[in-house]
Structure 1
Amino acid sequence: MVRKDNTYSMKEAISLLLKTYRIEGEVERSKVISAYYDVAGELIVKHTLSVKMKNDTLFVAVDNAALRNELVYSREQLLFLINEKVGKEIVRNVVFR
């Protein structure tokens, strides 16, 4: 990571900073939640009460039982779109409440 002249690229410096302060996971969780709001669509976002990430599971609370039921059927597509937006497979499961 360190070159002979002790310089870092911006990507290396940010990565080192995140590792040093042990906040890599928090940054990834923020990316996942942001990706959810980007890919979910306007109607779903309007009915979303909260989005939380714990380990590799995304928890989404919605205010409409019918919408929750439809989201359960669209779970795999939503997983794919979120992971694609983030750039790697971080989310392995989505739980709708």
Structure 2
Amino acid sequence: MKRFNDDYSISDVMKEFIKTSNLEKGLNEVQVKELWGSLMGPTIANYTTQIDFHRNILYVALNSAVLKQELLLGKQKIIDLFNKELGKELVKDLIFR
């Protein structure tokens, strides 16, 4: 193994590894799913039955029609909140089922 005298931070090395290994898509999915519970709080998380994230669309299944209607009113605000927390424009749309 050849050594280089260049200084790299662990963060830079990990980011490069994630990019070259095509792990970014899976990590983004995990991040978005975990954020739902922490950003929306335990009350809303209790009414959530399933969370999926594909092609920059967050799909959330809820077991309360009333809650679904309330969240639909603040849909863009929720999307903005997710993107702000993630630090990048990752969630493009939010669909409630």
Please give the TM-score of this superposition, normalised by the length of structure 1: 0.88
Q: Which runs of 5+ in 1 are unaligned?
A: none
Partner of 2:72: 72
**Ranges of 4+ aligned residues in structure 1 off by more than 2 Å:** none
Number of matched pairs: 94
Partner of 1:90: 90
The CA distance in 1 between the partners of 2:63 and 2:7, in whole Å, is 51
Cα RMSD of the aligned pairs, angstroms, is 1.3
Aligned-residue sequence identity (percent) comes to 26
Partner of 1:37: 37
Q: Give, as a single letter, the amino acid of the residue that structure 2 aligns with 1:90.
A: L
The CA distance in 2 between the partners of 1:45 and 1:20, in whole Å, is 34
More RCO (CA 8 Å, sep 6+): 1
Please give the TM-score of this superposition, normalised by the length of structure 2: 0.88
Partner of 2:9: 9
